[in-house]
Amino acid sequence: MSPTTVYLIAAAVGYLIGSISFARLVFARLRPGQAPDLIRTPTMDGQAELVSHAIGATNVMIAFGPRWGMLVTILDALKAFLPTLALLLMFPDAHYHLVCAAFVLAGHLWPVWYRFSGGGGNSSILGLMLAISPLGLLVTHAGGMLIGRFFPMFAFLGGVALTIPWFAVRDGLLSPEVAFALVITAFYVIAELPEARQMKDLKKQGHELDIRHVMSMMKKSAATGKPEGKD
């Protein structure tokens, strides 16, 4: 089997695995026949809202509580971690695992089974980084958290983008790992464009997002162990 064939198989398998939406499976199990709840962030004046069409662990946590949300987080991380690690161990001198990991993320963001409307990608990135560079995962996510202290809306994006300098220092500027980091960062940014356009339009209209709203719902769900709005 030629290396090109293996790369194509790694890409296809990664994409199909990534396309499995555990969040949607949980909604289908607990609320059969009903569409998953979307995350809606209101503006400070309450006159408009930003609607995220991503369906992932956060949606599940808000709807059904922290246990279900954590389950989806773990499963989304594992679907990236396991195939990436398997290829890394099987072919340590090749880069099949990088291709597989990138396409797992692509499948998660744009799943073929759900009309290419997927999740946010944070849990999957955690899983693939854990397989490729555990220390890098800690460094980049710590950096993302630091960025989030000053610019909350860019915390997750910052953590993803920091994989580029991390791999540049670890493996070299022209390494396949840096190319991989550029690809996953581009995927993440492209997936965020619909929400970014909404934010731009809301700002033009004079609205300011209440960015603490979703966090407060998550904290309430975690503290009570119950879905938002349930007593």
- In angstroms, the Cα distances linking 93 to 90, 167, 169 are 9, 17, 19
Q: Is-contact 112 103, C-beta < 8 A?
A: no
Nearest to 109, CA basis, from 19, 44, 228: 19
Name 27's Cβ contacts closer than 8 Å, sequence gap at least 6.
34, 35, 36, 37, 55, 59, 60, 63
Is the predicted pLDDT of residue 165 greater than 80, yes or no?
yes
pLDDT of residue 220: 55
- In angstroms, the Cα distances linking 116 to 9, 109, 171, 196 are 20, 7, 33, 18
On the CB side of 14, CA atoms within 13 Å amount to: 28
Q: What is the CA radius of gyration of the chain?
A: 18
Mean pLDDT of the chain: 89
Q: Rounded to whole angstroms, how far apart are CA atoms 59 and 52?
A: 10
Q: What is the DSSP string of 13-74?
A: HHHHHHT--HHHHHHHHHSTTSPPPPEEEEBTTSS-EEEE---SHHHHHHHH-HHHHHHHHH
**What is the mean predicted confidence (pLDDT) over 167-180?**
97
pLDDT in tens, 1-54: 899 999 999 999 999 999 999 999 999 999 999 989 888 888 888 788 888 888
Q: Rounded to whole angstroms, how far apart are CA atoms 84 and 176?
A: 15
Lowest mean pLDDT among 48-57, 164-173, 186-195, 216-225: 216-225
Q: Locate all alpha helices (DSSP H) within the chain, ordered by sequence.
A: 3-18, 22-30, 57-64, 66-90, 96-109, 122-132, 134-150, 155-161, 163-171, 176-204, 212-224
- Look at the pTM and tell me if it is higher than 0.95: no
Q: Rounded to whole angstroms, how far apart are CA atoms 95 and 167?
A: 14
pLDDT of residue 219: 57
